[in-house]
Amino acid sequence: MGTDGITLVTGGSRGIGAATATLLTEHGRRVVVVDILPEPIPQCDAVVWPEPFDVANESAVVVGIAAIEKTHGPITGLVNAAGIFGKMHPVEKVRMDNWDREINIDLRGTFLVARSVGEHMAQRRQGAIVNVASVAGMTSGPIHAYTAAKAGVIQITQTLAAEWGRSGVRVNAVSPGFTRTAALEAGIASGALSNERLARNTAMNRLVEPAEVAQAIIWLLSPASSGVTGINLPVDAGFIAGSTWDAYGGLRHAPDKI
């Protein structure tokens, strides 16, 4: 993430994308946000691309990336944060149109944008890409298309890192745990999810904040991580570390303060 060029954030009008765009601008980066439903981010200086940006549409991605670079300059940083979270269903009730939609946006969309931007980066011998995966792609759960898509995002991150590493392009992923976005809060409010259940198996006994994921993304974009490519960094409040402890009686309570 050099001082020239722009950073593009997909799915940047809300959630982790918006938190990342906000923090990037606070660090002095020029940021362009794209979204299927583009909206300004409150108290953020990022430029919002006014046209709806469909990450799953190949021609729209190619044309859109070209137009953005023509208008705002070369993309030297990319954050692939666009994604959707599917409903929880037993496998026999998974509708294939819903499966296809999740795979198209979460996996195909990540690949299409990364390829379109990354090819230009490789030609310029400069760039950093961060794909937003999920701990769901590292574990199992009744969100069948989402877990498959996010596992795929982790895999293509490694492959693209190897593809472009000798061209000066770094590609990494972050895997958020249960993160306090508007979408998650809506699931809690509806009763589909439980805040206590989501938090209790994390080592830190809490949800992740969007800004915490954004901090990890910005590090992976920055020169501070110049020797890092092809990794998947969980930002999960210790969900992976703590999730198996329930079988042994649960995580330890903190000792009383002295």
Q: What is the pLDDT of residues 44-87, one digit of tens each?
A: 999 999 999 999 999 999 999 999 999 999 999 999 999 998 77
Residue 189, helix vs strand vs coil: helix
Distance, in Å, from the CA atom of 202 to the CA atom of 193, rounded to the nearest integer, reads 15
Q: What is the pLDDT of residues 160-206, one digit of tens each?
A: 999 999 999 999 999 999 998 888 888 888 887 888 889 999 999 99
Please give the pLDDT value at position 188.
87
Token code pair at residue 216? 């990890």
The count of residues in the chain is: 258
Token code pair at residue 157? 């991150």
**Residue 214: how many other CB atoms lie within 10 Å:** 25
In contact, 172 and 222? CB cutoff 8 Å: no
Does 3 score more than 60 pLDDT?
Answer: no
Does 95 score more than 80 pLDDT?
Answer: yes
Positions of E strands within the chain: 6-10, 31-34, 47-48, 75-80, 127-132, 169-176, 232-235
pTM score of the predicted model:
0.95
Q: Residue 131: how many CA atoms within 13 Å on its side-chain side? A: 38
Using CA of residue 48, residue 51, residue 52, residue 58, what is the dihedral sign? negative
Token code pair at residue 1? 């993430």
Residue 219: alpha-carbon gap to chain centroid: 14
Token code pair at residue 144? 């069948």
Active site residues: 146
Rg (CA), the chain: 18
136 closest CA partner among 195, 189, 178: 178
Q: Hey, what domains does the chain have and what are their CATH numbers? A: 6-248 (3.40.50.720)
Distance, in Å, from the CA atom of 199 to the CA atom of 178, rounded to the nearest integer, reads 8
